[in-house]
Structure 1
């Protein structure tokens, strides 16, 4: 059966001062799939994310998201089409509460102007109440109730990462890009995040594109895996296939291990 895709990338290429950050990368993500990109440090994983989200414009190649070519579009336009992203480092407003940070993810759903907001009538009232209801659903889903009114700067790191995930979910995305979602977490926090990631795919029906260094997590969660090295794709397949691919072993360990 053919894969029904939400994202298709064709022969992406990107370079900086002669250095090839992305060198002929092609892959697709299914509409109910958790697809992972792995590779050594400097392999080009985050550069791929930056192209997909509009931070970088590729020198060549196509990015088709939900049937539309988005290569070269600005980040806000791509976000408005339904692509949400988290980052390696927590990018939250430390002095704002959990609820306030989550509400910021609703910006694409706000259609009323400042006068309507002041009057608190009509569209402004309806949209605000709808956004608050959506945020409360996310609070319950990510088990953030006990921290909902606390400034995020006072929260444990693992909870902050969960809030950032919630802010991305608040956009009601068609595709979720997770850039090292468990980086810097302890084992308990990692297990919690893994559970939420699976729930997002399975319960919310949101496809996920994941970049992560935790190989145990990737092999447990991903449906398919793309391996890149020095910007080049070297293998794509199911986790079990990737683990035994000699090119993948060579990229990570420097040699092919005997079987």
Structure 2
């Protein structure tokens, strides 16, 4: 059953789903993140932009537990994420897509999507191997959930094809689907249109809009394709050398002189 997206006004007054406060991450003498603050409201699509090396991927790695910042707070729905393992954070409701695809190329589209359901499965090894009783019911329930994602992302014609035989654009769509299969509260999108042509980029934008309309899912987007960012994002945070230099609406970010100097480029 679809859920109507919250209005922009209600998102602006809602308690943040994700909150980063003064997050600092260092690698030896290099500071990757320097006191970064960032919030994502329920149902919001929040984009993070900046030049290469600005700290965008480091934010993702801190949120999903790959990196542990030395200072600051990270909270998801009030839950402290610091020190938690990535698998625990995934169970709390954080899913991620990757710029470099991490699909199991020999497995079918449906089987790759089923892998996203793994942390939701409760059947033990023996019962699962025998595929009786609860194990059988659970398998059918998860396959029904996967089929809804297949339909949402229009992958019906490819459901039984090995992932490795799909064109690049469809593989990126499958990567998105596997993250959705986790039923997250927060979806981290790491350059979802990297390497895509114009038609594939427009398709991905359409699917992201459909996901927002159907699921009202909070998303944190890192992307270099500025047309996509400015068209889709509710708010944008700009980073430079690990520091936040601005947060605002797409129009405010496009007009901010600090962002223009650091990333967008001055007008000719």
Alignment of 1:37-186 (within 5 A): 37-186=48-197
Partner of 1:211: 222
- For normalisation by structure 2, the TM-score amounts to 0.93
> For each residue in 1:212-252, what CA deviation from the matched residue of structure 2 results, as whole angstroms up to 9, or x when unmatched?
00001000000000000010000000000000100001102
How far apart in 1 are the matches of 2:129 and 2:83?
A: 37
How far apart in 2 are the matches of 1:164 and 1:121?
A: 30
Alpha-carbon shift at residue 119 of structure 1 (Å): 2.6
How far apart in 1 are the matches of 2:216 and 2:29?
A: 40
Kept in 2: contact 1:91–1:164 (CA 8 A) = yes
Partner of 1:22: 33
Q: CA RMSD in A?
A: 1.2
How far apart in 2 are the matches of 1:5 and 1:201?
A: 17
The worse-fitting range, judged by mean Cα deviation, of 118-127 and 89-98 is 118-127
How far apart in 1 are the matches of 2:92 and 2:32?
A: 26
How far apart in 2 are the matches of 1:124 and 1:159?
A: 31
How far apart in 1 are the matches of 2:206 and 2:83?
A: 34
How far apart in 2 are the matches of 1:198 and 1:6?
A: 20
- Aligned to 1:198, what secondary structure does the other structure show? helix
How far apart in 2 are the matches of 1:122 and 1:223?
A: 46
Partner of 2:213: 202
Partner of 2:16: 5
1:252 aligns with 2:263: yes
Alpha-carbon shift at residue 118 of structure 1 (Å): 2.6
> For each residue in 1:120-163, what CA deviation from the matched residue of structure 2 results, as whole angstroms up to 9, or x when unmatched?
22221121011000010000000001111111111100000000
Q: Which runs of 5+ in 1 are unaligned?
A: none
Alpha-carbon shift at residue 3 of structure 1 (Å): 2.9
How far apart in 2 are the matches of 1:257 and 1:163?
A: 38
- Aligned to 1:10, what secondary structure does the other structure show? strand
- Aligned to 1:35, what secondary structure does the other structure show? strand
How far apart in 1 are the matches of 2:251 and 2:230?
A: 8
- Aligned to 2:39, what secondary structure does the other structure show? strand
